[in-house]
Amino acid sequence: MEDLTTGIEVAGVVAWLDLAPGSRVLDVPCGSGRHAVELAARGMDVTGFDLSPRMLERAQARARSRGVTVRWVLGDMRRLPFEGAFDAVVNLFNSFGYFGDEEDRRALAGMVAALRPGGRLLLDLPNRDAYVSQVPPAYWDETPTHWVLCSFRFDSGTGTAVTDYTYVPKAGGPPQYRQTRVRWYTLPEIHAWLKEAGAAVTAVYGSWDAEPFDVDTPRMIVIARRDAGGSPTRD
C-alpha cells in the first residue's frame, strides 16, 4: 500500500513540477526516503535533507535496496545551505509547521532560495478546514506492537493542531505517551510568505488526484515558482 501511495504522489510531483530525468530535486525533510528514492528511481538527481540521523540511515538502506543513488545531507531545514542549486524543491506529507511562525517562515524562504530562478516548489500540507471538521476528538489506531489512543484538539486562536498519543503495549506493560503540535497554515498565509520570499503560487490542488482545492478537500498542495529575476528574501 505504501508503495502504491508513494508512486501516486511522486507521479504528481513529476507532472506538476515538470521534471525530467536529470532534474535536480531537493526533498526536505526527506524522512526515511520513500519519495527521494522513488524520484531517483525515475532518473532524477536527488538530494535528501533531514535533521534525524536515524531517518537518514533508514533512507540510505532504502536507496541501497532499490539500487539508486541519492545524496543524503544531515541538517536543519531552518538553515538550508543551498542557493539556487535545484530545479525543484519538495516538502511532502505534513512536514511543515513544527517550529513556530517565524522559524517556519524562515524555512520556507530557505526552500525558495534553494531553487534556481524559475525553479518550482511543492508544499504538501493538510487542508486545515477539512481536518478540523472531520477528525474526531478521540480515536483508536494501532501499530504492530501497540494499541494507540489518539486525542485531537485544534486551537483556532493559534492555528495549532495538538494530538496526544497513548501507546498501550499489546503484550502488556505500562502505557507510553507522546504529543505533537503542528501549525496548520491557511492558503493566504502561505501565499504571503511565498511572495515575500520571491516566489509566486501557480496552482493549488486539493488531493493527489489533482482535484481543485476547496474547504472539503483533504490536502492543500501548493505549487510555486521562484521569480526569474532578482534574489529571494532570506533572513
> What local confidence, expressed as pLDDT, does residue 228 receive?
85
Percent of the chain with pLDDT over 90: 95
pLDDT at 23 over 60: yes
Percent of the chain with pLDDT over 70: 96
Give CA–CA dist 35/191, Å, rounded.
Answer: 25
pLDDT at 99 over 90: yes
> What local confidence, expressed as pLDDT, does residue 182 receive?
98
What is the chain written as a DSSP string?
A: -HHHHHHHHHHHHHHHTT--TT-EEEESS-TTSHHHHHHHHTT-EEEEEES-HHHHHHHHHHHHHHT---EEEE--GGG---SS-EEEEEE-SS-S--S-HHHHHHHHHHHHHHEEEEEEEEEEEE-HHHHHHHS-SEEEEE-SSEEEEEEEEEETTTTEEEEEEEEEETT----EEEEEEEE---HHHHHHHHHHHTEEEEEEESSTT-PBP-TTSSEEEEEEEE-SSS-----
66-70 long-range contacts, CB within 8 A, separation 24+: 66/37, 66/40, 66/41, 68/37, 68/40, 68/41, 69/40, 70/33, 70/36, 70/37, 70/40, 70/46
Average pLDDT over residues 58-86: 98
pLDDT at 36 over 60: yes
> What local confidence, expressed as pLDDT, does residue 3 receive?
82
Longest dimension (CA), the chain: 61
Global model pTM greater than 0.85: yes
> What local confidence, expressed as pLDDT, does residue 171 receive?
97
pLDDT digits (tens, 9 = 90+) for 183-199: 999 999 999 999 999 99
pLDDT at 156 over 60: yes
Structural domains in the chain?
2-128+185-226 (3.40.50.150), 133-183 (2.20.25)
> What local confidence, expressed as pLDDT, does residue 235 receive?
63
Average pLDDT score over the chain = 96
Average pLDDT over residues 76-105: 98
